[in-house]
Amino acid sequence: MGIMSITSNDKYSISTLALAGRTEYCITSCGSDAKMNSALRDFPAGQDTLMLNRFVFAGIRHFAGNSADGQTVWLQGDACKDGAVSSSQTFAISGTGHVPVKYNSKTVGFIYEDEYAVYCNLSGIRPENMQASRAEQTREVLAIIASVLKLYNFQFSDIVRTWFFLDQLLEWYDEFNIARTAFYKENGVFSRGVIPASTGIGAANQSGAALICNIFAVRPKGDKVKIQQVDSPMQLSPLNYRSTFSRAVEMSFPTHRNLMISGTASIAPEGQTEHAGNPELQIDLTMRVVHAILRSRQMDWNDLSRGIAYFKNIEDRKIFDQYCRNHVIPVFPLAVAHADVCRRDLLFEIELDATKSQ
């Protein structure tokens, strides 16, 4: 029996990773406003269960009445106009101690550790000067992350996973990429050899900033932890078209491997969009691309621990659901978001994590 298990009911889908020093959870719920609001109240439960962070998609109008913490990021996709809550995804741990991470007296994340590494989750990082240009707001967000990490003895280059949610992304994604790449160069990301896995999606946030960001950083304690960038067998590096992220990052521990696949879409090896205007073919190619990454690391669909699927047209979800049935992809914690992807002609994007015992 593996160290990961998945359970589902009519309210949640939960992946549980049982490790020697702690248990990690990913809890996802999709559905109506009433169901989602109930899910938001119900979990996490238990005195030693800590919610690290939570995404709530299409939920900005719910922010004032529900948010009592700094770990929930309320997002409404650029393509979503009705504001109804579509899904939430919560990351939580239990069985271990933790240190709150503070910025300007506000908790913006948590640090925890085991015998192999020290881990840092930062959530909802946004600029302070929301009147600045979008590029300046991007740089400020990255500078805040760098300063917070340094304060807690991490380097910026310890980041292995990022999520960037850009308000009106299609208007300024190139500008964002230029600012991100410049900051990465200045802070040693390229010299380290592992560029973070990432997602970049068009979604407004609860504070009205140009962007909001979550990150996950890992500081290994020794050589028992291996962190490596993973290439895609079917796509070239995003660096080839001036987008600074890796297709995937794998963390290998003595007990298990964790593969984090970046947001992936219907893009040809040379970088151009494939199957413009055809959601069925875009979903098919995208899923074949992520499956090829899984297989390259001796993993498969049954190793999936979480994911988020982004749809420019939410009606296309039924095409995706049919694809999963046709390919016998098991149920796992998958959030669904109605949001713009990074190009006008891209209709679908998916990010996935997978875990496999050593």
Query: Per-residue pLDDT averaged across 271-298, rounded?
Result: 97
65 has a pLDDT exceeding 60:
no
Q: How many CA atoms lie within 13 A of 237 on its CB side?
A: 12
How do residues 288-312 score in pLDDT, each as one tens digit?
A: 999 999 999 999 999 999 999 999 9
Name the band, by pLDDT with cuts 50, 70 and 90, for residue 44.
low
pLDDT of the residue at 68: 47
Mean pLDDT, the chain, rounded, equals 90
What integer pLDDT is reported at residue 60 of this predicted model?
Answer: 64
Q: Report if pTM > 0.85.
A: yes
Tens digit of each residue's pLDDT (9 = 90 or more) over 158-197: 999 999 999 999 999 999 999 999 999 999 999 887 999 9
**Cβ–Cβ < 8 Å for 341, 349:** yes
Tokens for 154, please give them: 């991490």
- Cα 24 to Cα 50, 208, 309, 355: the distances in Å are 10, 31, 21, 12
Architecture of domain 4-357: 2-Layer Sandwich (3.30)
Angstrom distance (rounded) from CA 225 to CA 239: 26
